[in-house]
Amino acid sequence: MTAFNVRDILKTAAAQPAQAGPRAAMPPAENLVPPRSGGPLSPIVLTGCVRAGEFALIAVTGILVQLVLLRGIIPLHAGYLAAIFGLAGLNVAVLQAAGTYGIRAFRAFFSVGLRVVLGWSLVVLLAATVLFFAKLGDHYSRLWLGVFFVVGLVLLLAGRLILSVIVTAQMRRGRFDRRTAIVGGGEPAEALIEALEWQPDSGIRIVGVFDDRSDGRSSDVVAGYPKLGTVSDLVIYARNTRLDLIVFTLPISAEARILQMLSKLWVLPIDIRLSAHASKLRLRPRSYSYLGSVPVLDLFDKPIADWDVVVKTLFDRVVGGLLLIAFAPVMLAVALAVRLTSRGPVLFRQKRYGFNNELIEVYKFRSMYVDQSDAGAARLVTKNDPRVTPVGRFIRKTSLDELPQLFNVLKGDLSLVGPRPHALQAKAANTLYDQVVDGYFARHKVKPGLTGWAQINGWRGETDTSEKIQRRVEHDLYYIENWSVFFDLQILAMTPFALLKTENAY
Question: Dihedral sign, CA of 27, 352, 504, 491?
Answer: negative
Q: Which residues contact residue 5 at a Cβ distance below 8 angstroms, ignoring those fewer than 6 apart? A: none
Rounded Cα distance between 147 and 150, Å, is: 5
- Answer for the pair 354, 411: CB distance below 8 angstroms, yes or no: no
Domains and CATH numbers, the chain: 6-16+24-36+177-302 (3.40.50.720), 43-173 (no CATH), 307-500 (no CATH)
CB atoms within 10 A of CB 133: 9
- Dist. CA 127–CA 85, nearest whole Å: 12
Return d(Cα 182, Cα 291) in angstroms, integer: 13
Task: Give the helix/strand (H/E) hosting 428.
Answer: strand 427-428
- Phi and psi torsions of 289, nearest 5°: -105, 170
What whole-number distance in Å separates Cα of residue 109 and Cα of residue 100? 10
Q: Are residues 418 and 448 in contact, defined by beta-carbon separation less than 8 angstroms?
A: yes
Lowest mean pLDDT among 26-35, 111-120, 370-379: 26-35
CA atoms within 13 A on the CB side of 489: 5
**CB-based contact 179:205 (threshold 8 Å):** yes
Does an H or E element contain 248, and which?
Answer: strand 245-248
- Give the pairing type, strands 204-210 and 225-229: parallel
| Residue 18 pLDDT greater than 80, yes or no | no
pLDDT score of 26 = 41
Query: 296: closest CA among 161, 175, 130, 183?
Result: 183
How does pLDDT run across 421-431, given as a tens digit for each residue?
A: 988 877 777 77
pLDDT tens, residue by residue, 385-412? 788 889 988 998 888 999 999 999 999 9
The answer to which of 95-104, 200-209, 397-406, 487-496 has the lowest mean pLDDT is: 200-209
Write down the pLDDT at residue 412. Answer: 92
| pLDDT at res. 22 | 40
pLDDT tens-digit map of 164-193 = 999 999 988 888 888 999 998 888 888 888
CB 228 within 8 A of CB 199: no
Please answer whether residues 127 and 87 qualify as being in contact, where contact means their C-beta atoms are separated by less than 8 angstroms. yes
Asked if 139 contacts 79 with a C-beta cutoff of 8 angstroms, the reply is yes
In eight-state DSSP terms, residue 399 is T
Q: Please report the pLDDT score of residue 20 as a whole number.
A: 39
| Neighbouring residues of 266: CB distance < 8 A, sequence distance ≥ 6 | 6, 9, 272, 300, 439, 442
* 239 residue type, one letter: R
Q: Which of the four pLDDT bands, split at 50, 70 and 90, describes residue 72?
A: confident
